[in-house]
Amino acid sequence: MKPSRYSPSSCPIEETQCPYFQELEQLRLECKRLKELTRIDSLTGFYNFRYLIDALEGEMERTRRTGLSTGLIMIDLDHFKRINDTYGHETGNEVLKWCAEVWRNRIRRIDIPCRYGGEEFTIILPGTRLPQAVKAAERMRKALVESPLRVGSGLIKITASFGVDVYTPREYLSASEFIKRADRHLLDAKQNGRNQVCHPAKREEPLPTEITQEEKAALSMKRRNPLG
């Protein structure tokens, strides 16, 4: 069979003025849009839980190939039920959208923000060691404290609890097991008073804070986050 002489964006019947080209192009764009919608949480604009699992498995595989750690931040808004009970669910939704907006401006382009469910969020940090992951979580925590949501003539102060962990090439975990491990640190943060970042007590060996050329090369293989 001879290879096709036209590309997906050219006319299948090879006419200069193809009567079907515009319709086919519109269908192609619509299919692309619908595919994106299956990956995005419609309320916050973050990725959804389904995409979270796929993306995390991909980054953990990258860790095993490159040796670069994958960071994971689990987040739970503090006293969110109280906000819903006091202001109503519509305002509760505004709070969720506001948190996503605050955090979107505090993460890197390669980071992968996801809505885990309800008032819980997850951030995947490719090529990130534990100290850097903890700093990222603390930056997000502080940004939320400093960014109350204005509702009418008043302000709603919002805080969140954070659990941080990293996956290293010496480990063998599934994505679900990694999430559960980070979630235990999140539970510690909530039990210890909320509005704080908890992480493993055992820290990684001190390493240079500047990313190496090898790390840059490995990370450059990852396509840019379309939400950035």
Contact residues for 176 (Cβ-Cβ < 8 A; gap 6+): 53
| Position 13 in a domain | no
Residue 201: per-residue pLDDT: 84
Above 60 in pLDDT, residue 12?
Answer: no
pLDDT at site 86: 95
Domain with residue 132: its CATH number is: 3.30.70.270
38 within a domain of the structure (yes/no): no
Please state, in angstroms and rounded to a whole number, the distance separating the CA atoms of residues 49 and 122: 9
Residue 24 lies in a domain: no
User: Residue 228 has which token pair?
Assistant: 């950035």
Question: Residue 51 falls within a domain, yes or no?
Answer: yes
- Kindly report, residue by residue over 134-180, the tens digit of the pLDDT: 999 999 999 999 999 999 889 999 999 999 999 999 999 999 999 99
Structural tokens at position 96: 């969720």
Residue 11, domain member (yes or no): no
Number of domains in the chain: 1
The region, left, alpha or beta by phi > 0 then psi within -120 to 50, assigned to residue 127 is left
The answer to whether the beta carbons of residues 133 and 145 sit under 8 Å apart is no
**Catalytic site positions:** 119
**Where does residue 45 rank: exposed (0-12), middle (13-18), buried (19+ CB within 10 A)?**
middle
Q: In sequence order, what DSSP letters do the residues of 93-138 get, joined into one string?
A: HHHHHHHHHHHHTTS-TT-EEEEEETTEEEEEETT--HHHHHHHHH
Examine residue 17 and state whether it is found in any structural domain, yes or no: no
Residue position matching structure tokens 């996956």: 167
For residues 47 and 39, the answer to whether their CB atoms sit within 8 Å is yes
Question: Which residue range(s) make up the domain with 177?
Answer: 46-220
Average pLDDT, the chain: 84
Q: Would the pTM count as exceeding 0.95?
A: no
Amino acid type, 77: L
Contacting residues for 203 by C-beta, under 8 A, at least 6 apart: 130, 131
- Give residue-wise pLDDT tens across range 184-194: 999 999 999 99
32 token code pair: 């692309």
